[in-house]
Amino acid sequence: MEAENALQTAIPIAEAFDATIILLHVLEVSSVDTFTETGNPASDEEISHSVHINENLKLAHDNFKRSFALHGLDNIDVKLEQYIRVGSANKQIEESIEKENIDFVIMGTKAAWGLTDILLGTSTDKLLRRVNCPVLSVNEVVPGDAFTKIVFPTTTYSKETGLVETIKKFQKAFGSKIFLVRINTPMHFMSDKDSIALLEEYAVDNNLINYESHVYSHTEEEDGIREFADYIKGGMIAVSTSAHTGLWKIIQGSVTKELVSHSKRPVLTLKMD
């Protein structure tokens, strides 16, 4: 289901950007006899003799065929390529990004809470903090018009340049309006007047057009972002994430992870410069 959501979301984006869709299926196998300690296949010969792997490889090919038929992919004006990799999902995604020169990733996720949230969120968080290209996480199928209202809860840091440029590309492709917002929390309080002034300065410095500046107060930043997006009936949420570890990662990364895990809206993330 998650992969189908990502695929259906990828089609209007590929059409808008005249891009090629790379369909990647990673077959994760936990057998210690088949994999080395790094998570890579021990050898092609060992894989070929694994009934379990061969069955799942066939299933992956069948799923590709089913997706093509279900979505009429043979009849759309978008170039598609498909790859099946065996090993650790995050590792294979990272390697595929490098090998295939991927410049944008669309990843199907699912809303999760409690222990499942922790387990899924940790894996996703590691990937978001490691890859150098934008990642769009979707919990459900995203129609093209969802990109016409972009919620941008900015930190106003200069290191967000890459994310700002990605937002601008979406704005140009979909005619989007940007909703800059600063979430006012008790721990990071600033007057509305000063917050708006900061956002306006940020917009000028980054040459933003067709935007609005907002301040939204909440006790928690992540909940404030989601509630603000609900309030304005926004579409995609765009946030920066950090490659750092330690306290900074806990502060910045936790908000991103919570949004990806719990938001019904698509969440665009990019590691800060």
Q: What is the pLDDT of residue 111?
A: 53
Cα–Cα distance measured from residue 186 to residue 223, given in angstroms and rounded to the nearest whole number: 13
Q: What is the pLDDT of residue 182?
A: 93
Q: What is the pLDDT of residue 172?
A: 96
Overall size of the chain counted in residues? 273
Q: What is the pLDDT of residue 117?
A: 39
Q: What is the pLDDT of residue 195?
A: 94
Q: What is the pLDDT of residue 196?
A: 96
Q: What is the pLDDT of residue 50?
A: 59
What is the mean pLDDT, run by run of 10 residues, along the chain of 273 residues?
Answer: 80 90 77 44 53 66 68 72 81 87 85 41 65 87 88 84 94 96 89 95 96 94 91 92 46 63 85 73
CB burial of 13-33 (b: ≥16 within 10 Å; e: otherwise) equals bbeeeeeebbbbbbbebeeee
Cα–Cα distance measured from residue 75 to residue 168, given in angstroms and rounded to the nearest whole number: 30
pTM: 0.79
Q: What is the pLDDT of residue 155?
A: 77
Q: What is the pLDDT of residue 214?
A: 97
Q: What is the pLDDT of residue 205?
A: 94
Q: What is the pLDDT of residue 171?
A: 96
Which tokens hold the place of 26? 């990673």
Domain boundaries, the chain: 20-103, 144-271
Q: Which fold has domain 144-271?
A: Rossmann fold (3.40.50)
Per DSSP, what are the bridge partners of residue 179?
A: 151, 212
